[in-house]
Amino acid sequence: MKKFKNSEITPEKIYYKRRSFVKSIGYSLSAMTLCSVPLIKANASNSNNLTSYKDITTYNNYYEFGTSKSDPYINAQNFKTKPWNITIEGEVDKPINISMEEISNEFTSEERILRLRCVEGWSMIIPWMGFSLSQLLSKVNFTSKAKFVEFESVYDPEQMKGQRYPVLNWPYKEGLRLDEAMHPLTTVVTGLYNKKLPNQNGAPLRIFIPWKYGFKSAKAIVKIKLVEKMPTSSWMWASPREYGFYSNVNPNVDHPRWSQATERIIGNNIFSPRVKTLMFNGYGEEVAHLYNGMDLKKFF
Ligand code: MTE
């Protein structure tokens, strides 16, 4: 496992590079190798567009509030996100419990335009507000046993109707290897489009890992646990054959039930062609080194 060195890359560098990538070439380049000229034009102009606020906030996956894309928008409106506390515990010298107010006072959220690629085969370009998870994790000292990070979403079946049914093993859990968690692109999201994070997108706080399928990005988190063993995420638990621990966006590794080679950009009209999915969702330059020497077909 390659340890991430903080000096290797700065959040600013990534952010500006990523921004220009999305804005200038983005998917037009990959589309160019795939499609005929008129379609490239349609794609190129669309790829320069951020997904609309409406699409980002009404087309969601958040099974605690229902399994249809429109359910979270409808059912999460009255979800109470105040007061809210997060614990950071496990393999740390001293666990902490930190409130949302303390987090907002202590960490400055910046705009981070990052692509979300859902395992279902669609994508969005989202202007998130947030900061690197590594900043939040710097509030604790890890023990030498800390190898992975487990995220836990809130468990509140009173407010979250979906948790009354065994759709997943609640609470929703996800995990990262420690070096993935410490990578500056791994983001604690506090908002989008310069506004506070809507409930349906994971308020008050969610994680976002742009080079992994969207389900790795747990919403409404209440616990971050440093652990020694690879955690079993809710999706691995539900279907280990379909959802691996790494879940890096990878056009060469199909989901057992469908291809991951292409994707539909949300907001494009229905006649727009699907575009080619990029390795690591286009963030290979920043993250490929984390997986040097690993067989990504085996560790999917
Ligand atoms: N987090 C929780 N707690 N519950 C969920 O059902 N769905 C995941 C992820 N985080 C989910 C979750 C999936 S499958 C995706 S694609 C993204 O959230 C969707 O994020 P968005 O609705 O903000 O686009």
Q: What is the mean pLDDT of each run of 10 residues along the chain (300 residues)?
A: 38 44 37 26 50 98 98 98 98 98 98 98 98 98 98 98 97 98 98 98 98 98 98 97 98 98 96 97 98 98
Residue type, 26: G
Nearest residue to 71 via CA among 175, 213, 204, 167: 167
Cβ of 47 below 6 Å from ligand 1: no
Question: What burial class does residue 6 get, using C-beta atoms within 10 Å of its C-beta: 0-12 exposed, 13-18 middle, 19+ buried?
Answer: exposed
60 CB within 6 A, ligand 1 = yes
Q: Which domains does the chain have, with CATH numbers?
A: 6-291 (3.90.420.10)
- Per-residue confidence (pLDDT) for residue 49, from 0 to 100: 85
147 Cα: distance to centroid of ligand 1 (angstroms): 24
Question: Which residue CA neighbors atom 12 of ligand 1 most closely?
Answer: 218
With 0.95 as the threshold, say if the pTM is over it: no
Q: What is the pLDDT of residues 104-133, one digit of tens each?
A: 999 999 999 999 999 999 999 999 999 999
Task: Identify whether the C-beta of residue 76 lies closer than 8 Å to the C-beta of residue 197.
Answer: no
Residue 132 CA to ligand 1 centre (angstroms): 19
> Atom 13 (ligand 1): residue with closest C-alpha?
215
CB-ligand 1 contact for 128 (6 Å cutoff): no
108: how many CB neighbours lie within 10 A of its CB?
11
Full DSSP string of 84-126: -EEEEEESBSS-EEEEHHHHHHHS--EEEEEEEE-TTSEEEEE
Structure token pair of residue 296: 């990504």
